[in-house]
Amino acid sequence: MENLNLYIKSHFSDSIDIKTKILNDNGMISLIKEASLKVINAYKNGNKTLLAGNGGSAADAQHIAGEFVSRFYFDRPGIASIALSTDTSILTAIGNDYGYENLFARQVQAQGVSGDVFIGISTSGNSKNILKALEICKEKGILSIGLTGASGAMNELCDYCIKVPSTCTPRIQEAHILIGHIICAIVEEELFGKGFDCKL
């Protein structure tokens, strides 16, 4: 049982270490700030966010979209956000007709317009369907934000690529949702300005 206790603590410790690295990286903090300001600008101009990911990253995309559309810290009007991993008819139609690698590109092509923001999430940075969606973003003038790990091809395609300094999928995902929450908080506060009170 003592070894199991140490094992549990090691997970907390590893997660804290990754977040501490981000906390102490002024470049990363500035990148998160700049990405947040771009999302704010899109919303102020009447645009929306589109989010996509696979597996756990799909859940993160849906989670962040839910915070935008419903609420985060306080009651306010909903803001437009679409998670591209939620409509089974669209997903299966595209997967069947065009292949899984076009799952998100087709939706961005159909639903995205210039001025929107696409947030692509991939722990490896190499998810083919995210990379193809990023290519469509460039064609359509849709600003792109990537959430990824320490490496991967997304860095070359995103306007803003936020790279968590890790190659461990669970640790990357834990940082991704925290970064997503920070972006939601900044956007909500700037658009509606009621402040928040989140006590431990």
Q: From the CB of residue 35, how many other CB atoms can be counted at a distance below 10 Å?
A: 26
The percent of residues in the chain predicted with pLDDT above 70, rounded, is 96
Residue bearing tokens 């603590």: 9
The percent of residues in the chain predicted with pLDDT above 90, rounded, is 94
pLDDT confidence band for 43 (50 / 70 / 90): very high
110: exposed, middle or buried (Cβ count in 10 Å: 0-12, 13-18, 19+): exposed
pLDDT at residue 159, rounded to an integer? 98
User: Is residue 152 left, alpha or beta, with left meaning phi > 0 and alpha meaning psi from -120 to 50?
Assistant: left
Angstrom CA distances, 181 to 65, 89, 114, 153, 177, stand at 11, 29, 25, 24, 6
Sign of CA dihedral 179, 181, 186, 187: positive
**pLDDT, averaged across the chain:** 95
| pLDDT tens digits, one per residue of 11-39 | 999 999 999 999 999 999 999 999 999 99
pLDDT at residue 197, rounded to an integer? 62
151 vs 112, residue with greater confidence:
112
pLDDT at residue 200, rounded to an integer? 46
pLDDT reading at 81 higher than 50: yes
Cβ atoms of 159 and 145 within 8 Å: the answer is yes
CA Rg value for the chain: 17
* Beta-sheet pairing, 49-53 with 81-83: parallel
Task: Write b or e for each residue in 178-199: b if 16 or more Cβ atoms lie within 10 A of its Cβ, otherwise e.
Answer: bbbeebbbbbbbeebeeeeeee
